[in-house]
Structure 1
Amino acid sequence: MSERIFGHIPGYPVGSWFESRAALSEAGLHRPQVAGISGTEGEGADSIVLSGGYEDDADWGNEIVYTGHGGRDRGTGKQITHQKLSRGNLALAKSRLAGLPVRVIRGSTHKSNYSPPHGYRYDGLYRVEDHWQERGRAGYYIWRYRLIKSAEAGIEDSQAATESKGSYSVPQRQETTVLRIVRDTKLTRKIKEAYNYHCQICKIRLEGSAGPYAEAAHIRPLGMPHNGSDSLDNLLCLCPNHHVLFDYGAFAIADDLSLIGIEGSLTLVDGHCLGQANLRYRREHYFLGS
């Protein structure tokens, strides 16, 4: 089997149309002829197909909330058990971790204004910006993925899953456009200054040549579908390491500010009150040990 390609497939520009899943597979845009996620737990996911299989999917064109696979009854298509973070679901999470682009293909059966009238259409590269678990409409836990489209300036490049050892070259540059939520920079400065740039978890203050460094972390994420607030009761001051661990669900914060998943407790200065609902949301959606 040929190596997995992350990125555009040469010869098939954005907008390429295909009559069937078999044609998609033959072209290399999306290998599986049934599964909606193409990828492995070790390599990551290289493509997904939106075909209307899950009622919880949401599609706003440049932004997609995609539902993972598993837990459905084969006969009725209804969700009957919880989804697990394994196989294709874990592959998409790995693509987020590694920053790998994911090819998005929309099918005509996908209920969206952005779907083609018939067949399947390759709609470009997206980045997995976030993943979390929540109860779906059927009442079972499902995995959700927020994907944001990258405008690739018409360049058709590809990245293989493996690298040739001992072979080095100058990397190519390409212009990209990434859609991001605009955050209140005054608030991020305020939270960092409140803790004098010390991490609320490890208490460490990082010093660089230009001064101290810390990161402002939202407890309940901003934007759809989380709709967290850009406010001090939803912000933490963290070092880069604990910010990443927090975002990827390695630990959570209990209502009494003790840490779940790692040892210790959260430091809180006078005047900084955290929203209990925000802490609960983070535990329920991101922390697997909850």
Structure 2
Amino acid sequence: MATRQIKFGEIAGFEEGHFFEDRRAMNESSFHRHITPGIDGNGKEGTSAIVLSGGYTDDADYGDEIIYTGAGGNKNGKQVSDQTWEQPGNAGLLVSMNKGYPVRVIRGHKHKSDFSPQNGYIYGGLYSVVDAWEELGKEGFKICRFRLVYSGGKPGRKSAEDTELDYSKKDPKRRKGTVVRIVRDTKKAQQIKELYVYQCQVCGTTIKTKKGFYAEGAHIKPLGKPHNGDDSIDNLLCLCPNHHVMFDKGAFSIADDFNLIGVVGYLTVHSGHNIGSHNLKYHRECHGYEVTIE
């Protein structure tokens, strides 16, 4: 049983492609804190890492995209009972999906994939959990399914935003589930969501999921080239998915007095949230909004 603190994201000294001789080698550093279970996580904090080891026949590994079977009901590689969302590892993956936490993916030599090592285990990089649903598995029992897409920074690999899998050959029927827009949260983004208790600053909506609440940390001035925005509290908003998309696409902007431009409304601002007026100005300029406050 893992008693050490769970560690999310990259861990110093373990680059993508790192080889582990066995499960104990990754356990000592808390890279993956379990010797036997494949999921390192729980329904309170989230899931930080998974090991693909060939234990579930329904798993599908496409490299930059993985269709992963949750934990529970498996015996000797066969499903013998239903899985549940309350199982700690499955619940943890839902939390990581809601909060945008990255998940370390490790492939073992028993995992049937072109990306698996001949022996031992290899670190495949960070992935984002972007979809979760349930279905009947090959053995006829209910299984919890997760879609993970690569979200690391290795050149030449597809990012989560660039990955779009064609399911038509493997699974032509529509599956029931909830698709969550890809958001790779930073600690700052998580702080801003907790400050607003997951309520959208535009509409006040709080989205309740199977495991807690969901909102998105939206950067006012986008990160990365050519915008080069800061990952800081004064450059972040807490928004629902709809208003996040609308804001990113310039469907509305925000005046320095926090009145909305392009739609009717007013931005709710917590007393502990100092939004940078220079970031708001940048967003207005990018999307063609010109406002003068007397």
**What is the TM-score normalised by the length of structure 2?**
0.54
Taking the aligned partners of 2:162 and 2:44, their CA distance within structure 1 comes to 28
Secondary structure of residue in 2 paired with 1:115: coil
Task: Look up the equivalent residue of 1:22 and give its one-letter code.
Answer: R
Taking the aligned partners of 2:44 and 2:209, their CA distance within structure 1 comes to 22
Equivalent in 158, 165, 179 of residue 161 of structure 2: 179
How many residue pairs match? The answer is: 178
Equivalent in 11, 14, 23 of residue 13 of structure 2: 11
Map of 2:82 onto structure 1: 82
Task: Look up the equivalent residue of 2:150 and give its one-letter code.
Answer: K
Structure 1 unaligned runs (5+)? Answer: 155-175, 183-221, 230-239, 251-290
Cα shift at 1:24 = 1.1
Alignment check: 8 A CA contact 2:102 2:126 kept: yes
Cα shift at 1:29 = 1.3
Alignment check: 8 A CA contact 1:71 1:80 kept: yes
Alignment check: 8 A CA contact 2:67 2:146 kept: yes
Going from structure 1 to structure 2, the CA distance change for 1:95 and 1:227 (only over 3 Å counts) comes to farther
Taking the aligned partners of 2:130 and 2:114, their CA distance within structure 1 comes to 22
Between the two proteins, what is the percent identity of the paired residues?
42
Taking the aligned partners of 1:241 and 1:23, their CA distance within structure 2 comes to 46
Alignment check: 8 A CA contact 1:181 1:223 kept: no
Map of 1:150 onto structure 2: 151
Taking the aligned partners of 2:113 and 2:205, their CA distance within structure 1 comes to 38
Cα shift at 1:13 = 0.6
Task: Look up the equivalent residue of 2:70 and give its one-letter code.
Answer: G
Map of 1:101 onto structure 2: 102
Cα shift at 1:81 = 1.0
Taking the aligned partners of 2:92 and 2:18, their CA distance within structure 1 comes to 25
2:117 corresponds to 1:116:
yes
Structure 2 unaligned runs (5+)? Answer: 175-202, 214-294
Cα shift at 1:40 = 1.0
Cα shift at 1:223 = 4.6
Cα shift at 1:28 = 2.0
Alignment check: 8 A CA contact 2:134 2:142 kept: yes
Going from structure 1 to structure 2, the CA distance change for 1:241 and 1:59 (only over 3 Å counts) comes to farther
Cα shift at 1:243 = 11
Taking the aligned partners of 2:209 and 2:55, their CA distance within structure 1 comes to 31
Alignment check: 8 A CA contact 2:64 2:163 kept: no
The residue correspondences of 1:168-247 to structure 2 (distance < 5 A) are 177-180=159-162, 223-224=166-167
**What is the TM-score normalised by the length of structure 1?**
0.55
Task: Look up the equivalent residue of 2:137 and give its one-letter code.
Answer: G
Task: Look up the equivalent residue of 1:54 and give its one-letter code.
Answer: Y
2:140 corresponds to 1:125:
no
Query: Whose relative contact order is higher, 1 or 2, with alpha carbons under 8 Å and at least 6 apart?
Result: 1
Map of 1:139 onto structure 2: 140
Deviation per residue, 1:30-84 (Å, 9 max, x gap): 11000000011100000000000000000000000000011123xx432111101
Equivalent in 24, 27, 38 of residue 25 of structure 1: 27
Calculate the aligned-residue CA RMSD, in Å: 3.1
